[in-house]
Structure 1
Amino acid sequence: MSVLIDPARWPAHGTVFSHLVSDESLEELHAFARAMGIAPNAFDGDHYDVPVSMYEELVAAGAEEVSGSELVRRLVKSGLRITAAERSSKLEKILHQRFARLFPNTSELERDPICDALLERWDEDHRHYHDLTHLMSVLKNIEYLERQGEPMGVFPRAVKLAGWFHDAIYRADPVLPPGQDEEDSARLAERVLPELGVPGPEILETARLIRLTFTHDPHDDDHGGKVLSDADLEVLARNPGGYQRYREGVRQDFGKVDDADFVAGRERFLRGMLAQNPIFNTQTGRKRWERPARRNLMSELYPRGGKAQD
């Protein structure tokens, strides 16, 4: 077990609190918290806030005592740390600024209601991976690929707009036909973007790119599709802790799916990704993300050194 606890020194509610984390997995942390009777609402993204009255009991149960700086260092190294910029309130402000930059000739009265509605969708309670953090990640990845000189197609802004809308409607409902969320997200963009003065051809390109995120299989000459697809799949190349957070978030997103069906569907996804050669379509994506992504996918498909079956 690798559950850590730092000294109780954070004042609130008439007492002081410690941070309880795992540098191995959120699954381990949640299991430990349940066993110790810690309320679920004490969880704050990557840690539980626990009162000093529980400190000795938690240590006796196996939590490792570490300093605050050591706890943060190990949490960061694990890839499970959520930075301040990734937390919802801060993210919304940053995302508002990013959205405004796409429409420099529109007023706040025109932009803000649409941006607010989008952010509300991305912040729905049932989302755990496909949330505001994922939105920010995709937008940052698009900008990174653009800075690296990757071509963005005829309508560069359409790639960024597709990033904003690509999971705007996300239900992960097994009753729905495959690709329905992407289709409905594309239709949402087609309805909303005219209100912001986006030209028709650019709207059509945005919607096309959104639909492409169902397959992540752009043609060789589809430069915008390559950038969007790679930006969306970058999570597959995260360090082990970050990849595990992604896996756990996806499982929570598909909470309506029973374990057996989820495992079968996840295996199909893993095999499908590994069958793509390469997974990433841009030169930058192949150079930076291809090898770690394949390593993560193989480790998930064949855990603990298991071998492929013929």
Structure 2
Amino acid sequence: MTLLIDPPAWPAHGTLWSHLVSDTSLHELRTFARAQGLGDRGFDLDHYDVPAERHDALVAAGAVALDGRALARRLGASVLRVPGRERRRASRAELLDRWSGLWAPDARRHARAVGAELVDRWREPHRVYHSRLHLADALDALDVLVADGAPGSARLAALALWFHDAVHDGEAGRDEERSAALAGTMLGPLVGGAALAGEAAAVSPHDVDEIARLVLVTTDHDPAAGDLTGALVSDADLAVLGSGPPRYARYAAQVRAEYGHVPDDAFRAGRAAVLDQLLAAGSLFRTEAGRRRWGGPAGTNLRAERDGLAGGPPDIVRS
């Protein structure tokens, strides 16, 4: 177990704060933090913010005290660090700007309250992988697909991505159903009064039904042949599987930490079943652009993770 903490040096809310990190495992970080009574709200993508009065107790419990620069170097050398540019993309302000960009100027005031609630949902403290960072990544991946010429409605796909994990309680299938229902509830008041950017028509009941349907596509990522917008949503959601090995390793570590309540043996068995299903699916990506960009790397990443589940803790990762 490698847990690191720097001195209280960051002022906020009337006190000084330390950073508590692990440079090998987000799972061990979250497990340790919870055991020491630190709330999940203190977790910020790759570290916990810890008030000064807890510093010495955490060192006594096993965290290694380092100066701030040494801790930053250790975290920066691992795959677990979330760089500043990614933090900015996933910030509340940036995400709300992206949400507002989907709506015509005269509709933004009414739509902004919906966007604000969605961002709050993506920022729920129990999330580690299915977080505001995943939302930003999926929206970026959609932009890449559209820029590469993938057909379908980019606007409806973007709205579906905003809702696709808006409910995340760790219940496969039920989460998607609840997220789809939430889309209908939250978008319903905007029907007829909010025009999508670049479109003359207001959001219609059909649009809302389509967005809910697209959310359900992420249940099994198996859009029907000819479902061009469903293919956009599915590929954008799965794009992380085709990322570079360090980014994929961070994704795997985030998933393990998010399901930290599951014992290691049970997690390995469940995760192996998920990976086997993905590997047996053939082409995971349904757009030509997605297959070209992410198909090969995704297969390599999934096989490497599957092979690694045979021994050792499931999320010990190094760059």
Contact preservation (8 Å) 1:25, 1:245? no
Deviation track 1:185-205 (CA, whole Å, cap 9, x = no partner) reads 112212222322312222222
| CA–CA separation in structure 1 for the residues paired with 2:37 and 2:27 | 15
Partner of 1:278: 283
Q: CA deviation at 1:207?
A: 1.5
Moved more, 15-24 or 220-229: 15-24
Is 1:222 matched with 2:227? yes
1:146 matched to 2:140? The reply is no
Alignment map for 1:168-183 (pairs within 5 Å):
168-173=166-171, 178-183=172-177
> Which deviates further from its counterpart, 231-240 or 81-90?
81-90
Once the two structures are TM-superposed, the CA of residue 104 in structure 1 deviates from its matched residue by 1.3
Which stretch has the larger CA shift, 194-203 or 155-164? 194-203
Say if 1:78 and 1:219 are closer, same or farther in 2 by CA, change over 3 A. Answer: farther
1:15-94 matches, within 5 Å, as 21-27=21-27, 40=38, 44-47=44-47, 68=69, 75-76=75-76, 78-87=78-87, 91-94=91-94
> Aligned with 1:130: secondary structure?
coil
Contact persistence 2:43–2:125 (CA under 8 A): no
Provide the residue aligned with 1:192 in structure 2: 186
1:110-157 Cα shifts (integer Å, max 9, x gaps): 112211221222222222211111111111111111111111x2x331
Residue 242 in structure 1 maps to residue 247 in structure 2: yes
Amino acid at match of 2:165: D
Q: Distance in 1 between matches of 2:161 and 2:111?
A: 17
1:295 is matched with 300
Aligned match of 1:203: 208
Match of 2:217 in 1: 212
The residue identity in structure 2 corresponding to 1:149 is G
User: Structure 2: how far apart are the matches of 1:121 and 1:16?
Assistant: 28
Deviation at 1:9, TM superposition (A): 9.7
Question: Are the structure 2 counterparts of residues 206 and 80 from structure 1 closer, same or farther at C-alpha, using a change threshold of 3 Å?
Answer: same
Runs (5+) with no aligned partner, structure 2: 193-202, 312-319
Give the partner amino acid of 1:123: R
Alpha-carbon distance in 1 for matches of 2:111, 2:15: 43
| Residues 1:190 and 1:62: Cα distance change in structure 2 (over 3 Å) | closer
What is the rounded CA distance, in whole Å, between the counterparts of 1:129 and 1:256 in structure 2?
15
Show CA shifts across 1:207-256 (max 9, x none). Answer: 11111100111233222111111111112223344323322332343355
Q: Distance in 1 between matches of 2:133 and 2:204?
A: 29
Match of 1:156 in 2: 154
TM-score (norm 2): 0.74
Inter-CA distance 271–203: structure 2 relative to 1 (3 Å threshold): same
Contact 1:79–1:240 under 8 Å retained in 2: no
Query: Do the aligned partners of 2:5 and 2:63 also contact (CA within 8 Å) in 1?
Result: no
Which moves more between the two structures, 209-218 or 259-268? 259-268
How far apart are residue 98 of structure 1 and its match? 0.9
Match of 2:317 in 1: none
Aligned length: 294
The sequence identity of aligned pairs, in percent, is 40
CA shift in 2, pair 1:258/1:74, >3 Å:
closer
Query: Matches of 1:117 and 1:156 in 2, distance apart?
Result: 22
1:159 partner letter: A
State which drifts further: 260-269 or 134-143: 260-269
CA spacing shift, 1:18–1:192, aligned 2, 3 Å: closer
Per chain length, whose mean CA-contact separation is higher, i.e. which structure has more relative contact order (CA < 8 Å, sep 6+)? 2
Q: CA deviation at 1:76?
A: 4.7
After TM superposition, the structure 1 stretch with the greater mean CA deviation from structure 2, 278-287 or 72-81, is: 72-81
Q: How many Å apart are 1:96 and its aligned residue?
A: 0.9
**C-alpha distance in structure 1 between counterparts of 2:210 and 2:304, whole Å:** 36
Structural RMSD (CA)? 3.8
Q: Distance in 1 between matches of 2:159 and 2:10?
A: 43
Cα distance in 1 for partners of 2:286, 2:16 equals 50
